[in-house]
Amino acid sequence: MNTERRKLRRVAMASLVGTTVEWYDFFIYGTAAALALGDLFFPSLSPTAQTLSAFATFAVGFLARPLGGILFGHIGDRVGRKHVLIVTLLLMGFSTFAIGVLPTYETIGVAAPILLTVLRFVQGIAVGGEWGGAVLLGVEQAPAKRKTFYGSFAQVGSPLGGLLAAAVFALVELLPSEALHTWGWRVPFLLSVVLIAVGQIIRSKVEEVPVARRQEKARLPIGTVLRDHWTAVLLGTGAMIVTLTGFYLSTTFLTSYGTKHLGFSANNLLVGAMLVSVVQIVALPLAAILADRRGRQPVILVGALVTAALSVPLFALADTGSVLLLWVGMALFNIGRSLVYGPLPAFASALFPAEVRFTGISLCYQLAGILGGGIAPLVAVALVGEGEHYLPVALYLAATGLLSAACVFMIGRRVDHLAEPASEKELIA
């Protein structure tokens, strides 16, 4: 028993630390895009066009994520989960460090935004393969009644990475404006080298997922998923959209909107982002524990509806101009979102059989990343335009919550068609 517990602790730590590093690298780009990259890489454009261009490069990472999910999903389903987790961490570390030393437009001209976009694409490839392997590391090795809880450790890595990213940028923001725009913005990218080294040491000590060793191998996992499980892909993607849209609109977009239209300082929003991360670090495992006891579908369904209901209050509280109310709105909104995000790995894992599970859940999550994360800030900026009213953005966010709720409900109605035979149905129960 003690040996089994130690093994599960190692699995949980490898899942948590690895995803923390990956998401730190991914999130610092979003914060940099909101605060500095527009001026540095697109200096000839208007302020709104600079913001749109910076967020467009941000979106490139999301466009690359399904490709990463397919590529590394194939490797994970054919070779094993652990191999993927080692490679994705190295790939993310390389691309993030390279962004940190990349010359700006002033130095190398149009080559700067081109190289920035390429490196962002590589980041997207890496994170596209990370999520599926990290969540399966926990879900597939945990005992039946704790699968949601152990699957949530990969989810906690997301707010931990966000907390680190916001904390580092909050310190960088204390620099004089000139220092921030010349070298200060590079510091968070360069610091990732230390985190990558720690993550690799921990992951190298984890054993391969047992199901990956004994499963039958699909010759072309993506082909099997698209041919036999396309309904699961559509519903799984829809179920995930609200949590990704909600995160990026309540942090990345709100950072840009709050500083440009509402008069908040960048540090006000960065502290808010750190508060959101702390709330999620606590709320995600609690939501997973609740789902293990009460069922994943009802907890996720309630979370999607709560998130939709809190969309307008989130922006209304920010629009008051009160920093305290801004933080309250961000915290409450992300408590609701955690009810979806925490139980999501175990819930989604049951949609696909073991031989294509890595590819299947990765494709769902990364497609949701494009629709709910990469495109969402661009849509939000376009909805606001040169004006200052939040309502169109809030209603857009609420609509994604209702869409996810509908998909979660339909998944529950179609469990017999989407899940594996009886041995796997306990994943959704």
Q: Residue 92: what pLDDT?
A: 85
More confident residue, 336 or 145: 336
> Tokens 């610091």 appear where?
191
**End-to-end alpha-carbon separation of the chain, Å?**
25
Whether the CB-CB separation of 274 and 365 falls below 8 Å is answered with no
Cα separation of 108 and 165, whole Å?
27
Dihedral of alpha carbons 47, 385, 392, 322, sign:
positive
Spell out a b/e string for 352-383, using b for 16 or more CB atoms within 10 Å of the CB, else e: bbbbbbbbbbbbbbbbbbbbbbbbbbbbbbeb
Please state, in angstroms and rounded to a whole number, the distance separating the CA atoms of residues 366 and 222. Answer: 14
What is the C-alpha to C-alpha distance for residues 296 and 294, in angstroms, rounded to an integer?
A: 7
Which of 215 and 205 is assigned the larger pLDDT? 205
Neighbours of 312 (CB within 10 A): 16
Structure tokens, 267: 């540090």
**pLDDT exceeds 80 at position 413:** no
DSSP for 173-198 reads TTS-HHHHHHTGGGHHHHHHHHHHHH
Residue pLDDT, tens place only, 266-317:
778 878 888 888 999 999 999 999 999 988 999 999 999 999 999 999 999 9
Query: Considering the chain, what is the average pLDDT of its residues?
Result: 83
Q: Is the dihedral of CA 82, 228, 418, 368 positive or negative?
A: positive
pLDDT for residue 426: 42
pLDDT of amino acid 424? 43
Contacts of 424 (CB under 8 A, 6+ apart): 350, 353, 354
Show the tokens assigned to 119: 């490196």
CB neighbourhood size of 82 (10 A): 19
Supply the pLDDT for residue 81.
78
Nearest to residue 348, comparing CAs of 180, 151, 167? 151
Kindly state the percentage of the chain with pLDDT values over 70.
90
Find, among 246, 247, 230, 211, the residue nearest to 363 by Cα: 230
Q: What is the C-alpha radius of gyration for the chain, rounded to an integer number of angstroms?
A: 20
**CA 134/CA 156 separation, integer angstroms:** 11
Q: Is 231 exposed, middle or buried (0-12, 13-18, 19+ CB in 10 A)?
A: middle
In the CATH scheme, what is the code of domain 2-425? Answer: 1.20.1250.20
Mean pLDDT, residues 115-125: 88
DSSP 237-299: HHHHHHHHHHHHIIIIIHHHHHHHTS---HHHHHHHHHHHHHHHHHHHHHHHHHHHHH-HHHH
How confident is the model over 337-394, as pLDDT tens digits?
Answer: 999 999 999 999 889 988 899 999 999 998 888 888 767 877 887 887 666 678 888 9
Q: Are 293 and 344 in contact (CB under 8 A)?
A: no
pLDDT greater than 70 at residue 211: no
Question: Quick one: which of 130, 16, 113 has its CA closest to 64?
Answer: 130
CA–CA gap between residue 159 and residue 153 (Å, rounded): 11
Q: Locate 38 and state its tokens.
A: 């527009």
pLDDT tens across 222-253, in order? 999 999 899 999 999 999 999 989 988 887 78
**Amino acid at site 425:** K
What are the structure tokens assigned to 210, written together?
A: 């047992």
Provide the residue type at 273 as one letter: A
Angle at 12 between CA 9 and CA 17, to 5 degrees: 120
129 neighbors 122 (Cβ within 8 angstroms): no
Above 70 in pLDDT, residue 156?
Answer: yes
Q: Read off the pLDDT of each residue in 95-124 and give the average, rounded to a whole number.
A: 88
Q: Structure tokens of 201?
A: 């040491």
pTM of this structure: 0.81
CA 168 to chain centre: 19
Per-residue model confidence (pLDDT) at position 210: 60
Q: What is the pLDDT of residues 12-68, one digit of tens each?
A: 888 888 788 877 877 787 777 777 777 788 777 777 777 777 777 777 877 888 888
Q: Is the predicted pLDDT of residue 415 greater than 50, yes or no?
A: no
Tell me what pLDDT residue 270 has.
Answer: 77
Task: Tell me which of 270 and 104 has the higher pLDDT.
Answer: 104
Q: Residue 140: its pLDDT value, please?
A: 83
The gap from C-alpha 75 to its chain's centroid, in whole angstroms, comes to: 21
Q: Look at residue 256 and tell me whether its pLDDT is greater than 50.
A: yes
Q: Where are the domains of the chain?
A: 2-425
pLDDT at 342: 93
Q: Are 48 and 386 in contact (CB under 8 A)?
A: yes
Predicted local confidence at residue 237, as pLDDT = 94
Report residue 423's pLDDT band, with 50, 70 and 90 as the boundaries.
Answer: very low
134 confidence band (pLDDT: 50, 70, 90)? confident
Could you tell me how many residues make up the chain?
429
